[in-house]
Amino acid sequence: MSEIALTRVGRLRQEHAGGLRQARFFAWTFARSPSALLGLALVTVFLVLTLIGPWIVPYPEHARGAVDLANRLQPPSARYWFGTDEMGNDILTRVIIGTRTSFWIGLTITGLAAVVGVPLGVASGYFGGRIRSVIMRVTDVFLAVPGLVLALAIVAALGPGILHGVLALAIVWWPGYVRLIEAKALTLRSEAYVEAARTMGASHTRILFRHILPNCMGPLVVKASMDMGMAILAAASLGFIGLGAKPPAPEWGAMIATGRTYMPDWWWYSAFPGFCIFLTVLGFNLFGDGLRDTLDPRSSR
């Protein structure tokens, strides 16, 4: 089979055949778990709502807090599927728009935490020695303080608002990534193919980017998926105690907080946002679990 005879497409297909087969295998393994599929479904719904939410909501003007006192605190009905809040806003609309807020909150927290935590973890695990000591000490300090308390302190210092809440949580979150990636990098360092690379004269940079990092992706992706859910929950918790998003921003936690004063008679106000948090976190957890089972072939092949 000479180079000239193969078309460009043919060559590409040949090069990536193995990768495609891998992808199919992952999909097949993933699909064998009903809970993983449920997680995938929930996460997909969540992402779809994030994307097209603003265009499908029944009452777009309610998203930012219009006032329609005539319809305040209406129970769930055909007109208002989730009922209305004390300003007359449709809760369904606000919940759907809130999906967007939750998405970028979760993504930012997880993203920032990973961007900071992964390099530190890789450096710590791969280089060891003094670098590791320093990084571990710093990480230990952050881990010693309970997450939410630290976040509270930071937000209290910076002032309330979603942005500060997200920043605070990202600062709390990164040590987890360091720990996870460090453990993986440590085992990878003594793999035969890493030693082989060293005997070829590979620089540390090359080894890190070509051999260590790609093989850390598995645990990283699993953790990031599960963290999305937990980060959203944490942000909602901040919102709940009034240190995150401020009304009338349609953030789930803030909605639950405001709705608390209307419990139990106007239960739908807190219940539906709460239920959405539950479904979202559940979805990401199940999805992350499914990913872990797929990427970690402990189950029989």
Partner 1 sequence: MTPLLEIRGVTVRFGAAEALRDVSLALQPGAALGLVGESGSGKSTLLRVLLRLQGVAEGHVLMDGQDITGQREARLKALRRDVQVVFQNPHSALNPRRTVHDSVAEPLQIQGGLDGRAIRTRVSRLLDEVGLGEHFLWRYPHELSGGQKQRVCIARALAPGPRVLLLDEPTSALDVSVQSQIIELLRRLREHHALTYLFISHNLAVVQLLCEEVAVLRQGEIVEQGSVEQVLHAPQHDYTRALLSSVLPPGAYRLQQGQAAS
Partner 2 sequence: MSMIEIENFRLAFDGFEGRAHVLDGIDIRIEAGESVGIVGESGCGKSVLARSLLRLNPSPPARVVSGAIRFEGQDVLAMDRAALRRLRGGTIGMVFQDPVTYLNPVFTIGRQMEEVLRAHEPQLSRAARRDRCVELLEAVRLPQAGALLGRYPHELSGGMRQRVLIAEALAGKPRVLIADEPTTALDVTIQRQVLELIADLVERLGLTLVLISHDLGVIGAVCRRILVMYAGHVVEDAPAEELFRAPRHPYTRGLLAAMPDLRRPGHMPSGIPGSIPDLRTPPTGCRFHPRCMMAEAVCRATKPVLLGGDGHAVACHMAHVPA
Binding footprint of partner 2 on the chain (CB under 8 A)? 25, 28-29, 300-301
Whether the link from the prior residue into 248 is cis, omega within 30° of 0, is yes
Q: Does 210 bind partner 1 (CB under 8 A)?
A: yes
Minimum CB distance to partner 1 smaller for 206 or for 246: 206
- The partner in contact with residue 28, picked from partner 1, partner 2, none with C-beta cut-offs of 5 to 8 angstroms by kind, is partner 2
Q: Do 211 and 194 touch, CB atoms closer than 8 A? A: yes
Minimum CB distance to partner 1 smaller for 26 or for 278: 26
- The partner in contact with residue 196, picked from partner 2, partner 1, none with C-beta cut-offs of 5 to 8 angstroms by kind, is partner 1
CA atoms within 13 A on the CB side of 98: 32
- The partner in contact with residue 29, picked from partner 1, partner 2, none with C-beta cut-offs of 5 to 8 angstroms by kind, is partner 2
Residue in the structure block whose two tokens are 């240190």: 243
- The partner in contact with residue 214, picked from partner 1, partner 2, none with C-beta cut-offs of 5 to 8 angstroms by kind, is partner 1
Q: Does 5 bind partner 1 (CB under 8 A)?
A: no
Minimum CB distance to partner 2 smaller for 137 or for 301: 301
Residue in the structure block whose two tokens are 């973890």: 121
Buried b (16+ CB within 10 A) or exposed e, 191-205: eeebeebeeeeeeee
Q: Does 200 bind partner 1 (CB under 8 A)?
A: yes
Q: Does 4 bind partner 1 (CB under 8 A)?
A: no
Chain positions 256 to 275 lying near partner 1, rule: CB under 8 A, are none
- x/- site string to partner 1, residues 10 to 39, per CB under 8 A? ----xxxxxx-xx-----------------
Burial of 214 (0-12, 13-18, 19+ CB in 10 A): exposed
Q: Do 158 and 190 touch, CB atoms closer than 8 A? A: no
Residue 35 Cβ vs partner 2, minimum distance, rounded to whole Å? 17
Residue in the structure block whose two tokens are 């645990």: 219
Instruction: List residues near partner 1 by CB under 8 A.
Output: 1, 3, 14-19, 21-22, 191-193, 195-203, 206, 210-211, 214-215
